[in-house]
Structure 1
Amino acid sequence: MKDYVLKTNQLSKQYKHQVALNKVNLSIEKGSIYGFIGQNGAGKSTLTRIVAGLAMPSSGTVELFGESTERKLIQARKRIGATIEQPAIYPHMTAAENLEAHRLLKGVPGKECVQKTLALVGLHDTGKKKAKNFSLGMKQRLILAIALLGDPEFLILDEPINGLDPMGVVEIRELLKKLNSEKGVTILISSHILSELHLLATHYGFIHKGELIEQMTLHQLEEKCQQYFHIKVDNTEKAATILETVLSTNDFEVMPDGVIRLFTYLDQPAKVSTALVNAGLIIEQFKSMGQDLESYFTKLIGGIQHG
């Protein structure tokens, strides 16, 4: 039986005449990294604000760590770290002083966690440098450090790599993977940098105009986005034989309509077409297909808009 950190049931939020969320049923498994994908205004921030207790739903329910009553939710939220509404950074304080201030605000026991958390996000050597002099990337790290105070079991992160240079992006990605794999932290991460999410997330949720239109695992997404050659010839059975004997591959599938999907030789299209032509086959269609996360999302919401 799957263990869920977060589940929403028919969660809706309406502001006057605008529907921000419409009956959203979202579920996040314990130990997963959930990539939350949607355009600006799609409802990502509204949902995460409700989960964190920063806004109330118009209808529907939230379940955190199996708890759904208001009193139990207050306790469950103490197990969350979040960067939804960026925590205050005190510009005239150092990184350590900022973290100490937030430690006291959160009631996290033990001063030793400050240096440990700073080291975790790569800010342990900033010394007496004031936060007002931090780069955007350093401020992002400090915000993440504040969210990590108290060793949360569930992290909700809004654009955590915004403003980071390429090396900083890699470092934050590896840190989040480490938190997930070594400490078992479940992470909900929303980002407009879809290529980066594809390197990080284990599960995905696609939201559009307040509606959760699809949820899937990384494996399911990769199946949908897998690159392949789309081949249609006048004799499918003969083509399959050529692929097996001449090209020595079984990494293909024959679709019900007779189209062959070939998953190998992706960098050698001429070799494939030559083998088929030399066998006397007439090639009716031969094209590269498949898509990355960004093109899949674009196609997904495009289909809804034009459907």
Structure 2
Amino acid sequence: MTAETRVDAPAGSPTDRAGLDAVRVSWSAAGRLILDGVDVTAPPGAVSGLLGPNGSGKSTLLRVVAGVQPPSGDGAAAPRVTFAGTDLLGLPRRRRARTVAFVEQEASTELPVTVLDAVLLGRIPHRSLLAGDSAADRAAALAALDEVGAAALADREVTTLSGGERQRVHMARALAQEPTLILLDEPTNHLDIAAQLDALRVLRRLADRGVTVLAALHDLQLAAQHCDHVVLLSGGRVVAAGEVRDVLVPDVLDPVYGVRTEVLTHPRTGRPVLTFAPR
């Protein structure tokens, strides 16, 4: 297997059901091609990891799929991003916000708002434009905070929180949207080990409820232990995609990361355990 190999999931796997399907996604800035015709799928009911070295295009891809920034290309070269068979980029903004939630890596605010008020922003797509927060909105926001282990922060101002606490709040805001597709850019960023595991358990629970999860991750070990499906980017292109045990192997990882990878097997879970050494 070479670094250019695309590994497809076997027939009958979750990827056969309608989930996220992005085709020919390109994006350039200042004459530099950041994404070069990327094809990505993320099956429903699974945690999909978006992997790759710094500068490989992970954040840009998520922003395009989320509709935060427009893709490059038109006509025959225009990208197609569908979710459950619906043109995601063609949806009205409000309807798209009821379908997809996006947790950015650095989504900070200096406004003096409480954590609860910040999470309530996730309820905006579900109410009329002039309506205030309802009892149901508050209940959904509080439930989201509880799910990410941040219920005790509800009355704190966001500006007083640590980076890890803010990350939990951003995830809670996304959960309050009640999305069927959630995109996350480094959701374990700023988190300690226990909090990282908690965050990934939240993603697992979402997937078990049928939500399509696509998360950009730097930590290949976390991906190996918690993802069902992974997409590996390098230089703005997909290098490999498929099941964890097929993609996270030395023949694929070593050329992309410039390391020597050894794959062991976890004695309890049977999942891959990765170790790395310089080349």
Q: TM-score, normalised by structure 2?
A: 0.74
Identity between Structure 1 and Structure 2 (%): 23
Q: Aligned runs of 1:1-307 on 2, under 5 Å?
A: 2-59=16-73, 60-68=79-87, 71-72=90-91, 74=93, 75-76=95-96, 78-84=98-104, 86-89=106-109, 92-104=112-124, 107=127, 110-126=137-153, 128-181=155-208, 183-221=209-247, 297-300=253-256, 302=258
Structure with max Cα Rg? 1
Which residue does the alignment assign to 2:266? Answer: none
Does the Cα contact within 8 Å between 1:158 and 1:190 map onto a contact in 2? yes
Do the aligned residues in 2 keep the contact of 1:64 with 1:76 (CA within 8 Å)?
no
Residues 258-278 of structure 1: per-residue CA shift (max 9 Å, x gap):
xxxxxxxxxxxxxxxxxxxxx
Q: Which amino acid aligns with 1:139?
A: R
Corresponding residue for residue 228 of structure 1 = none
- Structure 1, residues 7-48: CA drift from partner, whole Å, max 9, x if none? 122222222421111111211212121111112221112211
Whether the 8 Å contact between 1:204 and 1:217 is mirrored in structure 2 is yes
Cα distance between partner residues in 2 of 1:147 and 1:204: 22
* SS in structure 2 at match of 1:179: helix
8 Å CA contact 1:63–1:73 kept in 2: the answer is no
Distance in 2 between residues matched to 1:178 and 1:76, nearest whole Å: 22
CA contact (8 A) 2:62 2:183 kept: yes
- The DSSP-based 3-state class of the residue aligned with 2:226 is coil
Could you tell me how far apart the structure 1 residues matched to 2:212 and 2:125 are? 24
- Secondary structure of the 1:4 match is coil
Distance 1:205 1:101, change over 3 A: closer
The 1:28/1:209 distance shift into structure 2, 3 A limit, reads same
Name stretches of at least 5 consecutive residues in structure 1 with no aligned partner: 222-291
Q: Which stretches in structure 2 are left out of the alignment for 5+ residues? A: 1-14, 74-78, 129-135, 260-279
Report the Cα distance in structure 1 between the residues aligned to 2:230 and 2:190, rounded to whole angstroms: 23
**What is the Cα-based RMSD across aligned positions, in Å?**
2.7
Greater Cα offset, 99-108 or 196-205: 99-108
Once the two structures are superposed, what CA deviation does each residue of 1:63-115 show, in whole Å capped at 9, x if it has no partner? Answer: 22212375447544531111136445455333213223443476496321111
Shift of 1:126: 2.5
Change over 3 Å in CA distance of 1:202–1:38 after alignment to 2: same
TM-score by length of 1: 0.67
Distance in 2, matches of 1:136 and 1:33, equals: 24
2:113 partner letter: M
Q: 1:247-292 CA deviation, whole Å, 9 max, x = no partner?
A: xxxxxxxxxxxxxxxxxxxxxxxxxxxxxxxxxxxxxxxxxxxxx6
Contact 2:98 2:178 in 1 (8 A): no
SS of residue matched to 2:20: strand
Matches of 2:121 and 2:50 in 1, distance apart?
30
Q: Matches of 2:100 and 2:24 in 1, distance apart?
A: 22
